[in-house]
Amino acid sequence: MEKNHLKEAMLHGTPSFPVAIYNNKFDKQYTLLAPLHYHNEFELLVATKGTLNVQIEEVTYILSQGEGLFINSGLLHIINSNDDVDHGFIAVVFDFTMICTEHDSAFNKYIRPLINGTIKVPILLSKEICSLIYDIGSAYEASSFGFELYIKHSLIQIFHLLVKDSKITTLPIQNTKSILIKNILDYIENNYSEPISLQDMADYAHISKEYLCRIFNVMSDTSPVEYLNRYRIRQSTSLLIHTSRSISDISLSCGFNNSSYFNKIFLRHMGCTPSEYRKKNTYTEVTN
Q: What band does 219 get if pLDDT is binned at 50, 70 and 90?
A: confident
Q: Average pLDDT over the chain, rounded to whole?
A: 90
Mean of the pLDDT values across residues 68-83? 94
Q: Give me the residue spans of the domains in the chain.
A: 19-168, 176-280
* 160-215 tens-digit pLDDT: 999 999 998 876 667 889 999 999 999 999 999 999 999 999 999 999 999 999 99
Same fold: 19-168 with 176-280: no
Give pairs for 247-255: CB < 8 Å, separation 24+: 247/274, 247/275, 247/278, 250/274, 253/193, 254/192, 254/193, 255/192, 255/193, 255/194, 255/195, 255/196, 255/228
Q: What is the pTM of this model?
A: 0.84
> Long-range contacts made by residues 146-149, C-beta under 8 angstroms, separation at least 24?
148/17
- The answer on pLDDT for 11 being more than 70 is no
Backbone angles phi, psi at 35, to 5 degrees: -70, 165
Residue pLDDT, tens place only, 79-127: 999 888 999 999 999 999 999 999 999 999 999 999 988 999 999 999 9
Q: Give the number of C-alpha atoms closer than 13 A to the C-alpha of residue 283, restricted to the C-beta side.
A: 15
* 47-68 residue pLDDT tens: 999 999 999 999 999 999 999 9
Q: What is the CATH number of domain 19-168?
A: 2.60.120.280
CA 79/CA 60 separation, integer angstroms: 9
Q: Which superfamily is assigned to 176-280 in CATH?
A: Homeodomain-like (1.10.10.60)
Looking at residue 100, its amino acid is: C
Determine the average pLDDT of the residues in 223-241: 95
Sheet holding 32-37, edge to edge: 32-37, 77-80, 52-56, 59-63
Rg (CA), the chain: 20
What is the model's pLDDT at position 109? 94
Of residues 9, 117, 129, 18, the one with CA closest to residue 73: 117
